[in-house]
Amino acid sequence: MAHLVDRADEFAAWLPRLTELLEQRSVLVVLDNMESLLTRTGRWRDERWGQLVAALLAHGGLSRAVLTSRRRPADLGDEACPEQSRRDRVLIEPIHALSLSEAALLARELPNLGRLLRGETVGLARGRELVARTLAVVQGHPKLIELAEGQAGDPEALAGHLERAAAAWAGGEGRLQAFFSQGESPFEAEEFLAALAGWTHGLSAALSPAARALFHFLCALEEGDRQSGIVHRVWPNLWRRLERPGEAPDLAATLEPLTAAGLVETQETRFLPETGFLYRIHPGVVEAGRQEAGDDFQAAVDAELSAFWVTVYQHGRREEMRGGGRLVVQAGRSAAPYLLRQKQWVEAATLLEQAILIDFSPATIAAVLPLLRRIAAATEGTKEGLENAGVLASALLRAGRWPEAEAMMRDIVRRAAARGEFRQASANTGDLITILRSTGRSEEALALVEEMKTYTRSAGLGPWTQLLNEAQRLQLLNRLGRYDEVLSEVEGLREQMRSLPEESEQEEAVSPWNVRETMLNTAQGAAMGLEQWETVLALSAEIVASQEARGAPALEVARFRFNDYGPLLRLRRYGEARALLHDCRAIFEREKDVVGLGKVFSALADLEDKLGHRGPAVAFQETALRYTYLAGDPEDCAVSHHNLSIHLRRAGKDPKVAVAHRLAAGVIVFQTGSGMPVSTIQGLAIHFADFVPEPPPLPASFEELCRLVEATKGVRFGELFERLPRRAATGDEALQAVVALAMEELSKGGKS
């Protein structure tokens, strides 16, 4: 799902598949603490959450969803299933408060309240009176009981706090006492939230100024940053920014009253020891603490935390070749909320851009793209707006959203060149060249290289950036089949790179490691074209060593290593190829890389076919086809249909099904291309020739074609066709056109 989250229409179109899965399987889905997704009126802050929840509930199968929230959603997707009422589909259980008996049992087991009950602190009668009063005021709310436990170490302090807290409940003493007569609290969720805020304010007011400042600091942090390692480093800087007298108080000593009062809980991180302790705070307490701290205090925290993460980012950039890449990614994603609240758009865009340059997994792309869209929208029309739009366009390119990226790139390059912003023009021309190369327009891209090099020189960028321009030119020569020329030039350029210092005296727009890896990858492509398989593998090993040295994410390394399977097959090193593919598969599954899984299963089918295992080859290719449909790229779907047709034919399966998959590939290519590629027509003709002198077993209609190919699990060929360009108006017309072209080629001798 992650790869579709940023595409609203495609995401909505995909959700029925989720509902179908839940209908057919038995899956438990839990969405915890949903209040952060809702406005104060219970409306969804992002309508996609409403669509998702509706999809979770719109079925009659055995799957179940558990949704927890301090605020009840106003819309639980009733429109998705108008024939069912909300009550039929959703059981709403208030769980904000324990019953009287449960609350009393919990109080008895707690250290301070338990001692009061046993009369060990102030005598039996007084102790029980205080506990009874406590139960009346906390009304069974677990967090309020915990806060009362923190106060119960000092009975007189507890008594005073109970009087103040009782006054905060609406309805007075009568409603509080109803807890004892009814055994359940009469108060609603919003009233409990208000009471929790009142308790929080009362406890905070009794703290020392230093402890109150620390409490507000912890509340103002993003949840993931409530770690002792981060707090320890930032606390002294925040103290100075707040212009408090003297040095910052000792963190451990200042924290003690917060934990004693139950406002903050410390938790050891056994599996992440480098983070130290985690500071856990109830969401209702956080909300009250932030409100109490005020906007100026939040702004001070935002400034310090953004400065902290920028420092981490800078350290990661310096240490990229020694594993610092993960710090760059972490810093980019962590700094974003603080920077965006301060409207530091350029800084946020820069860090996010570097994060997805290193980690372009679907999860990271899905998290970063909405933030970049927000930045681009906020700065549109300003001096920084064009640069931020360029960052968004580059991110779209990394996400494989080529049509959208290309349209943005062309507009940005034109506007940047006209305004003399040559660095911007150079960078986005390079991105545009990448798109053209990847979509088969290498000659058009080659014409842009000199334009890009002119922009680079005009921007005053240094030798590493200029070398990357040369690498992009050589990549295009690879596409044009000029492999010997490429290998010769790369060897000379590698010598030049060895002589260059890592830190250039001129401004650079690229990292040296990126240039080196790109150049080696280009040489590898040329060696592949010349079928120099050992050279290909040697260059691959160099690139992987560079990736691992700079701490590249496992997904990036796996995506690159995957390409070694082809040379290994050609060298008949089948065992190594199988081990490689299973390694890649494990990483792709862990990272939810749908596109990568489609490729790895197709490669496994190729391997089994080489070994003569026809049945497993078909099974793997069917799985590959299912993943390509999940990813949704029409070109990949066409390739996968084509490959499955080959494996079905070799395995002796139903000829009509094999022909149908070959035709499905042809229809996709016909609809998406400006012209039917000769290779596709010839491939169809060769397939048809296998049945001569009998006619090929063609489907009678487009409807039958859909039925045949959709017998493979996960294939939705009819749906895909509806999303394709309309070169032929209907499915039947497209099918007839493809068959006619293939039969014409067959009549000319397509078998040859």
| Secondary structure of 155-182 as H, E, C letters | HHHHHHHHHHHHHHCCCHHHHHHHHHHH
157, burial (CB in 10 Å: exposed 0-12, middle 13-18, buried 19+): middle
3-state secondary structure of 99: coil
Determine the topology of domain 543-747 in CATH: 1.25.40
Q: What does the block give as tokens for 106? A: 């919990």
CA 196 vs CA 4, 471, 653: distances in Å:
39, 61, 68
Q: Look at residue 573 and tell me whether its pLDDT is greater than 80.
A: yes
Alpha-carbon distance of 647 to 610, in angstroms, equals 11
Alpha-carbon distance of 510 to 497, in angstroms, equals 14
The distance of Cα 608 from the centroid of its chain, to the nearest Å, equals: 33
- Range 384-389 average pLDDT: 89
- Range 431-457 average pLDDT: 89
Type of residue found at 717 = F
The length of the chain is 752
Can you give the pLDDT at residue 676?
A: 62
Q: Look at residue 3 and tell me whether its pLDDT is greater than 80.
A: no
209-293 has CATH 1.10.10 classification = yes
- Range 278-289 average pLDDT: 92
Can you give the pLDDT at residue 271?
A: 47
Can you give the pLDDT at residue 545?
A: 93
Question: Which pLDDT tens digit goes with each residue over 190-216?
Answer: 788 888 888 899 899 989 999 999 999
| Phi-psi label, residue 353: left if phi above 0, alpha if psi -120 to 50, beta otherwise | alpha
Pairing between β-strand 277-280 and β-strand 265-268 as defined by DSSP bridges: antiparallel
Q: Identify which of 383, 380, 382 has the alpha carbon closest to the alpha carbon of residue 392.
A: 380
Q: Look at residue 83 and tell me whether its pLDDT is greater than 70.
A: no
Question: Which pLDDT tens digit goes with each residue over 366-380?
Answer: 889 889 999 999 999
Q: Which ranges constitute the DSSP H helices of 359-420?
A: 362-379, 385-398, 402-418
- Range 106-129 average pLDDT: 90
Q: Look at residue 537 and tell me whether its pLDDT is greater than 70.
A: yes
DSSP state of 510: S
pTM: 0.65
Hey, which of 354-368, 565-579, 661-675 has the most confident mean pLDDT? 565-579
More confident site: 72 or 602: 602
Alpha-carbon distance of 418 to 411, in angstroms, equals 11
Torsion of CA 693, 695, 696, 701, to 10 degrees: 180
User: What are the boundaries of each domain within the chain?
Assistant: 2-89, 100-205, 209-293, 543-747
- Range 539-568 average pLDDT: 93
Q: What does the block give as tokens for 261? A: 């009062």
Q: Look at residue 419 and tell me whether its pLDDT is greater than 70.
A: yes
CA 523 vs CA 2, 76, 445, 527, 643: distances in Å:
33, 55, 19, 6, 28
80 band by pLDDT with thresholds 50, 70 and 90: very low
Tell me if 389 sits within 8 A of 618, measured CB to CB: no
- Range 466-487 average pLDDT: 93
- Range 478-501 average pLDDT: 92
Question: Which pLDDT tens digit goes with each residue over 159-186?
Answer: 988 888 888 787 778 888 988 988 888 8
Can you give the pLDDT at residue 258?
A: 95
Can you give the pLDDT at residue 303?
A: 96
Task: Say if residue 693 is preceded by a cis peptide, omega within 30 of 0.
Answer: yes
